[in-house]
Structure 1
Amino acid sequence: MNAPDSSKAPRKHFSMIRGFHLADLFTLGNAACGVGGVLLALASLANRSVDLFLWAAALAPAAFVFDVFDGRIARWRQTHSALGRELDSLADVISFGVMPAALAYAAGLDGGWDAVVLIYFVCCGVSRLARYNVTAESLSGGSDKVKYFEGTPIPTSVVLVGVLALAAWQQRIGDAVWLGAMQIGPWVLHPLVLMFALSGTLMISKTLRIPKL
């Protein structure tokens, strides 16, 4: 009697989810915080609600906690995988790239030049993560851990969210945003948005090396 062909065995529903490790679930928690922050930022803008804005900002450090623990759990359980690395990068794009940009826009950094800077910031974050994924093996020097970061890690954008949260706490968002606004050519620029330009530039730096703890 011929042995059954295992390649033709029916696949179980949600087979991909069944293959997730515990660390991957923490990574998805990171992504969930990011999406929640974006939605709350939109709600705060629509309702002119500082409280909703602060709740949105609070999800950034929550996403950071998930991001820290997913890596530690992966090392503890020795469950590193290519899937986990890609999940981590995609979640980071949402939580530390798109969400801070959405919060900045909701805080009143909504001029034409502001939009250019925020798009630049997110693109720098995406590029930073893509470069890390490609170079992680060579940077690790044959060990299981990367020794240093090239450019600032994208989770450092939590600091930007903290600045925006402080401004909101002091009722300095919207028309009262810190540093005011200026007309440059056809569009408006809020100088506060330049901290996003600096953050994005530092992320894509090749010469700036930060030891990974």
Structure 2
Amino acid sequence: MARPPFKPFQPHGQGGPRIHEIPLRLIIPNLITVLAICAGLSGIRMAFEGRFQTAVVLVLIAALLDGIDGRIARALKASSKFGAEMDSLADIVNFGVAPALVLYAYLLDVAGSPGWIAALLFAIACGLRLARFNVLLGDEERPAWQADYFVGVPAPAGAALVMLPAYLGFLGVESSRIFAFASSAYTILIAILLISRVPVFSGKKFGVRVRRDLVLPLILGVVAYVLLLAAYPWYTLTASVLAYLVFLPLSAAAYARTARKEAEHSAAAVVPPEV
């Protein structure tokens, strides 16, 4: 009998048991990632059609969804290698390409080639930032306390920050050539912050438990912010961006203080006590 030219297909590589049903909780994070991609690409389409406010909202929704899908996967214990790879591919679209193209279609094209260069630099910087983030995840030599800080501005925050010229435009700032050049310079600044070594507090330690006396103020604050965002979206987003930019040097100062204390503690532990 002739030997078949190809090996028989094994659904799981080594002939493992066929899985007929997949739990719904394993699908939810991937579904959120796909919806984020759809929102980002739809935002690009809205920008090309001149519906810029809708485009910006869709880009922000894409950044929000893409920023929480990993957290939801960990909360549901539905993390998978497939989901991680898919999320990495979606990040560059939602945090880099979509904001850059929407901002270029809205304003940066008025500056001509410098505006396009700024948009390209932002998208490339976002890709570099994401690649560095994935590398740092496997760095086991990094001190534990440094896990509370991002290295550089995180990509989701960068996507929201870079849209500041659009927020200002929606508030009535004229889309003049001078404003377009200034926005191009601002876009390059955000790109530099993405790939910089500026330590940015991540707030992860606040994401597990909340003190009992802070529960009600926290709920009230979140509700107030959401209401302000719904009633005065562009004012609220502009204020949020400015507050985040002010927060960056404060975060770097806190990192420096912590690093100094850790260095002093390590030095005290190494030096033997005097007899």
Range class of TM-score, shorter chain: 0.7 to 0.9
Provide the aligned length of Structure 1 versus Structure 2. Answer: 181
Query: Does the residue aligned with 2:163 lie in a helix, a strand or coil?
Result: helix
With 132-141 and 152-161 compared, the bigger mean Cα shift is at 132-141
Aligned-residue offset at 1:171: 6.3
Aligned-residue offset at 1:168: 3.4
Q: Give the equivalent residue in structure 1 for 2:161.
A: 159
Counterpart CA distance in 2 for 1:204 and 1:10 is 41
Aligned-residue offset at 1:59: 0.7
Q: Tell me: CA distance 1:54–1:172, structure 2 relative to 1, closer, same or farther (3 Å).
A: same
| Paired residues of 2:47 and 2:55 also in contact (CA < 8 A) | yes
Q: Give the equivalent residue in structure 1 for 2:184.
A: 193
Aligned-residue offset at 1:10: 6.6
Q: Give the equivalent residue in structure 2 for 1:136.
A: 137
Structure 1 counterpart of 2:38, one-letter code: A
| Paired residues of 2:33 and 2:65 also in contact (CA < 8 A) | yes
Map 1:37-186 onto structure 2 (within 5 A): 37-44=43-50, 52-110=51-109, 111-138=112-139, 147-156=148-157, 157-170=159-172, 172-173=174-175, 176=176, 179-180=178-179
Q: Tell me: CA distance 1:90–1:171, structure 2 relative to 1, closer, same or farther (3 Å).
A: same
Counterpart CA distance in 1 for 2:200 and 2:140 is 12
- Higher-helix-fraction structure: 2
Q: Tell me: CA distance 1:89–1:193, structure 2 relative to 1, closer, same or farther (3 Å).
A: same
TM value normalised by structure 1: 0.73
Query: Does the residue aligned with 2:150 lie in a helix, a strand or coil?
Result: strand
Query: Does the residue aligned with 1:195 lie in a helix, a strand or coil?
Result: helix
Counterpart CA distance in 2 for 1:65 and 1:119 is 22
Aligned-residue offset at 1:140: 9.4
Query: Does the residue aligned with 2:78 lie in a helix, a strand or coil?
Result: coil
Matched, 1:208 2:231: no
Counterpart CA distance in 1 for 2:165 and 2:116 is 18
Query: Does the residue aligned with 1:138 lie in a helix, a strand or coil?
Result: coil
| Paired residues of 2:67 and 2:156 also in contact (CA < 8 A) | no
**Greater relative CO, 1 or 2 (CA 8 Å, sep 6+):** 1
Query: Does the residue aligned with 2:153 lie in a helix, a strand or coil?
Result: coil
Q: Tell me: CA distance 1:39–1:109, structure 2 relative to 1, closer, same or farther (3 Å).
A: same
Unaligned runs of 5+ in 1: 1-6, 45-51, 182-189
Counterpart CA distance in 1 for 2:107 and 2:11 is 53
Unaligned runs of 5+ in 2: 1-7, 13-18, 205-275
Structure 2 counterpart of 1:153, one-letter code: P
Aligned-residue offset at 1:121: 1.0
TM value normalised by structure 2: 0.58
Cα RMSD (Å) of the superposition?
A: 2.8
Counterpart CA distance in 2 for 1:120 and 1:91 is 18
Q: Identity rate of aligned residues, in percent? A: 29
Counterpart CA distance in 2 for 1:148 and 1:208 is 9
Aligned-residue offset at 1:73: 1.2
Matched, 1:30 2:36: yes
Aligned-residue offset at 1:23: 0.9
Aligned-residue offset at 1:142: 10
Q: Tell me: CA distance 1:22–1:138, structure 2 relative to 1, closer, same or farther (3 Å).
A: same
